[in-house]
Structure 1
Amino acid sequence: MWVFYLISLPLTLGMVLFTLKYFAGPEVPRYVMLTVGYTWFCSLSIIVIVPADIWTTINHIENGGISFFWSWSYWSTFLLTWTVVPLIQGFEDAGDFTVTERLKTSVHVNLLFYLILGAIGLFGLVLLIMMHKNWGGGVLGFAMGCSNTFGLVTGAFLLGFGLSEIPKGLWKNSDWTIRQKVLSHKIAKMAVKLDDAHQDLSNAIVVSILFQFPILRYPCFVF
């Protein structure tokens, strides 16, 4: 079994490092790369944990380490999915100028998302109570069912989108005539956006100059 560990662990870690190096841009912050790398390693850890769990079960070996690694993988993935990664995404998407304000914006956006999910879950709980259904799993079972349902629905939605959009995109890109029309349309839209951004920048420069030199707001005429 140690031979399997010596092969699978470096292989899994190498896959994570190679993928990070291949996809990450030079401007990606270090903490983002560390978080993404740890997240991918937790996801790929089943390559190591599942065969080890099967081997210990077949050979009737009591090994508390397997339970520890399962708990580590599960709770790490849980915290990363619902807390760490959403906060970092909101922080990076925020347009504020200070770290504190960007963090506040991220927390606000994620709290709003969690409140919506909580309201939906509360509505389902009240609906179950009103229907007088006999569900012996209790609140914990209901929460686990909601979590699994959310994961399955999200996975099915993303998988369905990928199965339809990826072949569709490849089919469109294979025709150079259609590709040229699409790119021409995108260029026109980007030109309009560039002009709007240039106008906003000019307005911002004028406003900043007026704030730096208040005397320019009240021009004096010397006769």
Structure 2
Amino acid sequence: MTERSIAVVTAGLTTPSSSRLLADQLAAAVRDELSGRGIEARAEIIEVRDHAHDLTNNLLTGFPPAQLRKVLETVEQADALIAVTPTFSASYSGLFKMFFDVLDDKALAGKPVLLGATGGTERHSLVLDFALRPLFAYLKALPVATGVYAASTDWGTGAAKLRTRIAQAATELVATLHHETPRQADPYENPTPFEDLLNG
């Protein structure tokens, strides 16, 4: 069986964190999508908070400590990347940015990336397009069309819609990994009956 390696970088600050929860669900969806194609997936979870001191030392000295070097190599050698950050001041967190600051600027060139972010309210969802996409475009990565933002409500009443976005993003990542044109979901494929709309 063919095997694919997926690096999962999550920059949540607490344990547990909603960023880690989203990262786990994205990784599981990608594994399921690959499994459906007869491909085994190995997901390597990288909690950036565990390497905060090493990241600071790397920035100050220009050299990564041994443990951080191993983590950076995991990202460089992975077939694809899932990157999830909490939203701070309408952007990615400083810890998230620090990780990609020390990564070799050619490490993600041509690599498929699934972008994710978490935040308190839906109004921060544009962080995906206005902060994360420019960063990964600079790194010459290949972000898939569907990014996944999870607000607090997505872990409750919005869980079904979140699962749909996760499944779509996973499908696109695997398609990009295999140089296919991912199928875009048609929002009019299963329209709500007019009677249901009238009844609220």
Question: What range is the shorter-chain TM-score in?
Answer: under 0.3
TM-score by length of 2: 0.26
Larger radius of gyration: 1
TM-score by length of 1: 0.24
